[in-house]
Amino acid sequence: MVNVNHMQCKQQQQQSDSLLDQSSSNCRLLVALVVCLFVGVAVSSKGADLLFQKKISDGPVVGKELDISFIIYNVGEGAAYDISFADTDFGASADFEVVKGQSSGKWEVIEPNTNVSQTITITPSKGGVFPLTSTILEYRKSQNEELSHTSAASYTGMYVESVEEFDKRTSLHLKEWGTFILLSFGSVAFPFALWSYYKVNYENGIKKNK
């Protein structure tokens, strides 16, 4: 009877030790997973992070040159690699004549806290509203990562003024400025005329004898 009880106690102890070993193994596995997670976050946080902008420099007018700039900012902690974009709004459109520059760009690397840009100068051939697409930028956050994509922050459309509209708007501004200058001159000229008259005809508040 004693031997039976002793064997049962031994079996129970072995089961307890087995459970403790399994629990310890699970804890070590959990700690390893947490460490790997933090290491992965730390590594990914040091990668590149690009901001892409498509910028129209001035109000578009038919027949007048217009600069379109594509600007890429690396705000991440690491360098970006194999960067490229190709815009189809202007270079491939019959509504715009390319004067100089390109509507695409390619760079091997962009260092952190730096920016690069590409500018194309165009001349609109007709007026109206032209829809603009979101130009896609491709790049690698590190040398061994897959290609990432981001779209350019830009306008959804662009209005091109006709020459008649432009002339009317600018001539109206010229008239407004002319009126403002005349009114400003009048407000200054009248007091000056009174002061001049006083200086010529009075001395110490007494009218001069002719």
Q: Where are the domains of the chain?
A: 8-45, 50-161, 164-207
Q: Which of 109-118, 160-169, 191-200 has the highest mean pLDDT?
A: 109-118
Residue 206 has pLDDT above 60, yes or no: yes
Q: In this structure, what token pair is assigned to residue 95? A: 């509504």
- pTM of the full predicted structure? 0.60
What is the pLDDT at residue 94? 84
Which CATH superfamily includes the segment(s) 50-161? Answer: Immunoglobulins (2.60.40.10)
35-39, 105-109, 177-181: segment of lowest average pLDDT: 35-39
Cα–Cα dist 167/202, whole Å:
52
- The tokens describing 193, both together, are 């005329």
Under 8 Å between Cβ of 52 and 135: yes
Spatial distance between the Cα atoms of 92 and 38, rounded to a whole number of angstroms: 47
Question: Is the model's pLDDT at 48 over the cut of 60?
Answer: yes
DSSP 16-51: HHHHHHHHHHHHHHHHHHHHHHHHHHHHHHTS--EE
